[in-house]
Structures are given as structure tokens and as C-alpha cells.
Chains A and B, each alone.
Chain A
Amino acid sequence: MTINTLSQDGVQRQQMPCLTKTPYYWMSTRWPASELDYAIYLAKKNIRKQGELIEYEKECYNALHKRINHTWDFVVMQAREQLRASKQRRKADRIVLECQEQAYWLVNRPPPGTLENIDYGPERRTMNTRVQLIRMLNSTKKSYVKYCEQYQPHDPIMQGCLPSNPWITDDIMFWNMHSETVAVPTKLRVERWSFSFMELLNDSMGRKEFLTYLEKEFSAENLCFWQACEDVRHGETSKIPEKVDEVYKQFLAPGASRWVNIDSKTMEKTLEGLKRPHRFVLDDAQMHIYFLMKKDSYPRYLKSELYKNLLARAIVPQETKKSVFPFMRRQRHSSPSPALATQIGEDDGKGKNSNSVKSNSGTASRL
């Protein structure tokens, strides 16, 4: 395991911490994992950060507190000592030790319901793991089905498009209606902004509308900051220092005209990085503001009058009538592929049942 640190000059350095210093945690030595040790481990976790113990750990902690109450002072003292000693170590070593310790206790005091992996060995294809695997795959597959269903009305190959597919009817109205500067957007386009925050940000009209909303809420500087960061990330390398400087003056400096609200830790880290600006120096701050907008302003925008009015005004284009020039109209049947020869004669190219997807065939087209 290597730990990668991105130091200030943007160059990344690797540190290889020493894994051999703690035979205590090696499974092979099979030290008996005593109650005392577990109590010390939990106490350490508790002291380090309040509320870091999860449910079953809290229960164990309380149970141990009752059971070995007579040595509790010793437990707490040991915990404090170990914490103090670990602070002396290098950060990398400390992380490694903490990981090893956590893994050790996960095996020796597993959370209720997990298998004893070390004990059972490779033959452990029990029903339990199979059910867990299936459950995980279930939720993953669900998400794909949901995504495909959500985007199906937007997929012209699956479901056609209104007013008509320009490739088929030679009518470019679709592209005109979806251009960046159109006055009234289509309903599908406005609906798509509600699928995810990135969908809203990827559409220039969506960004404009969102900015109008944020201006009403006096938080427009967030979106402006995000856009400025994007410009730094994707712009010319030579212009990065001056762009970063602009961003600092406008958004990050104390008393800046469009100061953005970032937490002190991120702000400190960013300001440190600004001393040697590189392409990704604003990433942390940008991510912070991105999630701020995503969790707060974006859901409220979707519920706002501004968005709802736009959605109500948005148009659903009329399907263009098929071409009326008889001499141009040619019934086209695609030559059946040898691979699907058994299905010839089943349909004439037009979707018969409502489940069939392709409904645009049979219109005039030029090859």
C-alpha cells in the first residue's frame, strides 16, 4: 500500500510506509485478542473522535465497561498513552497502523452477521455470500434499468423525436428548436435538467436560468466561482497563474466583492496552494461549492416558481406531417440480415404493438 500525497507544487510523491513494524496485528501470529485490548481499542476510538463508534461497537463498549469496570482507569490510561505515542509517529505510519488495527478487530470482533472469513477458507460459498452478492448486484442492476428508462424519451434511436428526426425527414426544425439561444425551450429539455445537477450545468440555457434563480437568492457568486474554476481547469496552461489570481481577487480574498463561503480547512489549503498555482489548485474549493449548490440551491431551484413556470411554458413540438409529394415517397424496407432470416414476414417495418420501439420507418428518405 502506498500513500500518495499531492504536495503544493503539484508534483506527487509516494511514500512507502513500513508494514513490518507491528507483528501484533499479523493474523499469522494469532495473539489472543483479549477483552482488555478490545476495550483499549474502543476507548481510543471514542477519545479520538466523539461519536465515531458505530452501533454494535457502542454496545460492546458499554458491556465491557460493566464487565471490567475494576480496571477501567487502566484502560483509559492505556488508550490515552497509545494515542499520544501514535501522534509522535509519521502520518503515513500512523495511517498504516490504524488500518491494520481496524482490520484486526474486524476479524476478531466482527460486526454481527458477517462470516468468519478467516476460519472458513475458500470453500465458503455458503448461501449467505450468495445472497449478499445477489443483493448487491440487484441494486446495481436496478440503477441501470432506472437510468435507461429515465433517458429513453431522450434517446432518438429508441423512441424517435419530435417534431421529426432531421436525418429521416430532411427537416432541420429539431435542431433549430434545440439551439442554445432559442426563446422557448422544449419540455423534454427542461425536464432533463431535473435528472441531475450535471445535466443542468451542461446545458447553457440551464445554467443561465439557474443563475437568474441564484441572483434572486443572493448566491450567484457560487455559480460564477464554479465556472471560473472550470475555466482554469480546461484553459491554457500559460494563463493559469493570472486566472487563478483573478479568481482569488474576486472570490476568495477577504472582503472580495463576490466572496464565496468555503469552510476554513478548505480555504486554508487553497490559499496555501495559491502560492504555486497549477491546473488543479482550485479543485477542492470548486468541489465544496459544487456540492453546496447541488445539495442546497439545486433542489430548491427545481421546486421554485421560476422552474415550474418555465416547464409550463415549454413546448412540445408537433410531429411534422409526413411529406405529401407522392413522387418522393418510397416505401423502404431494410434488407433483412441473414442473421435474422427467420423473422422475415413478421412485420412490414412498422411497429405493430405498443411495445415495439421503432415507429419512424416508412417515411420518405434519400440515400
Chain B
Amino acid sequence: MGEMEQLRKEAESLKDDITAARKAVQDLTLQDHVAGTAVVGRVQLKTRKTLRGHLAKIYAMHWGTDSKLCVSASQDGKLIVWDSYTTNKVHAIPLKSSWVMTCSYAPSGNMVACGGLDNMCSIYNLKGKDGNVKVMRELAAHTGYLSCCRFLNDNEIITSSGDCTCVLWDIETGSQKTVFAGHLGDCMSLGVAPDFNTFISGACDFTAKLWDIRDGQCRQTFGGHESDINAIGFFPNGNAVITGSDDASCKLYDLRSDQELITYQDSSIMCGVTSIAPSLSGRLILAGYDDFNCNIWDSLKAERVGVLSGHDNRVSCIGVTPDGMACCTGSWDSFLKIWN
């Protein structure tokens, strides 16, 4: 037994050595190039709007492409489409199952989707002939909860599930077109590339994978996190992936050099990251945490430059508008706040 302990200690110290060596190399390069960049200074974002209407925890939100409409999902069994600028509710859609965990707005603005513990992804048509919002399709085939879904267009949607797979669906026929299998743990989150050729998924096996949509293959796998990856997104240039994990850190992985570039962590932060979104230029990364706050990171210098505090419970979702104007946070306190 003593030998096992010894070996374990040796493995741990080797791990520490590798991390230190990696960090040393990173620090060298960081100083070289980022020293010349202008300092960001302290970023203060203020709440401009509060969207009230949900009666229970908000689990997900997603902006529409017009940067004004957004959809949010709450465990009170409602999907609400907001005109966030006027704070009016455009649609309040009652759901069959109230255990919803994700929602998505189609790029065309014609549809919204949601899903959760019912293992199904329900697609709602917002532009029905008689003005009513009805279920258009129910995509059922997953054997685990639906953790995230994202539309590619009005005909295709990608979902990630607790059954460790992601699936590309044809909405018209309601059938699975491609199954992306390979993760060893529940898939928690997914993000589609700006060019719609690939997507990334983060899972409870502590890795993120890059998938090719056309041929269903996993192109790259990124490790390094020490706990479940809860949130994932593409860096705006499409060449990097940002992830947020239960190990209280966020990481930036570069796709072309196939490695982790930067870790965003602070010894004072000890709670998990629930959601992540980059600003339009990518210079700022906004991440929502379990401690009711959102931290704003300078993505190049890996320093914390701001905090969004105002929620009374965990921040469960965050999103930056496509035009980069504002960011929206949704929380378990049942409110959505718009900041800039």
C-alpha cells in the first residue's frame, strides 16, 4: 500500500512539474506580445434592463440574431421570448415538461427550441399562420437529458445530451442525421463555429471535442480541466475555443496548434463556472459563476477586469448580443438582466 501512495505522490508532483513548465512557457510568450497592447482598465458594466416574468429558476437564454429579441427558459414550465429593449414579452410559451434545461433561437428568427429532462428537443414555430405558437416537432431519440441545443438553420439542429452523444437532426423529418459519439461523460454544452462547418462540445469527462458536421468525426480533443466542463463557446475569430468548468477555471484552447493557450483563474474564486460568452472583439470574456456573480476577464492578459454583481442566486446563463452591444445574464433568482 505504501508503494501505491509513493507512486501516487510521484505522479502528482510530475503533474505539477508539467503545469509549471507549461506556465513558464506561456508567461514568456504572454509578456512578449501582450505587453504592447493597451491596458483594458477596469470595466464597469451596469444593469440597463431587468426582465421580470419568470416564476422559477431560469436555466437558459439565447439571443436572436437581431440583437434585441431573446428567449429564456425557466423551470416554471415557460419559454418566454422577450423584446429585451422594451422589456415586453413577445411570446410566453407553456411547455409540456417543466424540467427544461436549454433553449435556442433560430438564426432566421422563425423558431425556438427547448429541451431538458424529458430527453426530447421540442421545436416551436413562432411564425405560425394564425399567430399562435405551436409545437412543430418533437425530436425524441436521446436516452439522456437534453443539456444544450443550437440551430444551424431552419432545417437542422444540433443537440447535446446526458447520454454522452451529440446529434444532428433534420427538423422536417424529425430524424437523426448524424450521431457524434465519443465523449465518456454527459455532454453539457455545445457551440457552433461561425462558419457552420464544425461544432464543439464540452462534457463531464473533463474534455472538449471539436466535431466535423459533414462527416461526423471528432477532429480534436482538448483536455486539461480537472472537473466537468459546463460551458463552451467559440472565440469570435473561429480559431479558438473557450471553456468554463466546475474546477473554477476557464480555458482558451487554440484549434490550429491543438493546445491550451491560457487559463483564467484566481485563487479567490472557488466555485464552478456555469456559463461563458466572449465580447465581440474577443478581448473580454464574460463568465457566470455559482457564487451569484459574473467575472469579466481580459482574454489576452488573463486578468480579471470587472465583475457583474446584482443577482441574488446562481448565474445560470450568459449571452452577448451578436452586435456586441450588451450582455444578458439569467439567474436562479428568476430574473434576466441586461448589462453594458
Contact = CB atoms under 8 A, between A and B. Distances in A.
Nearest to B45: A157
B50 A357 contact: no
Contacts, number: 176
Nearest to B212: A4
Interface residues on B, range: 35 or more
A141 B33 contact: yes
Given A152-B283, A167-B340, A349 B257 contact: no
B42 A343 contact: yes
A156 B280 contact: yes
Given A155-B324, A337-B309, A144 B170 contact: no
A161 B25 contact: no
B42 A151 contact: no
A332 B310 CA distance: 15
Q: Is the interface of B mostly helix, strand, loop or mixed?
A: loop
A335 interface: yes
Given A136-B257, A337-B293, A367-B50, A4 B43 contact: no
A149 B325 contact: no
Interface in B160-186: 170, 172-173
B177 to A, nearest CB: 9
A355 interface: yes
Nearest to B296: A157
Given A280-B214, A337-B309, A361-B44, A138 B25 contact: no
Contacts of B293: 337, 339
Given A234-B152, A237-B155, A355-B38, A148 B29 contact: no
A165 B284 contact: no
Interface string B120-158: 000000000000000000000000000000001111100
- Which has the most chain B C-beta neighbours within 10 Å: A134, A235, A358? A358
B48 A367 contact: yes
Interface string A314-355: 000000000000000000101101011001000101010101
A141 B43 contact: no
17 contacts: A137-B25, A141-B32, A142-B33, A144-B282, A144-B299, A147-B236, A156-B323, A157-B320, A157-B340, A167-B340, A234-B152, A237-B155, A337-B309, A339-B293, A339-B307, A349-B44, A357-B43
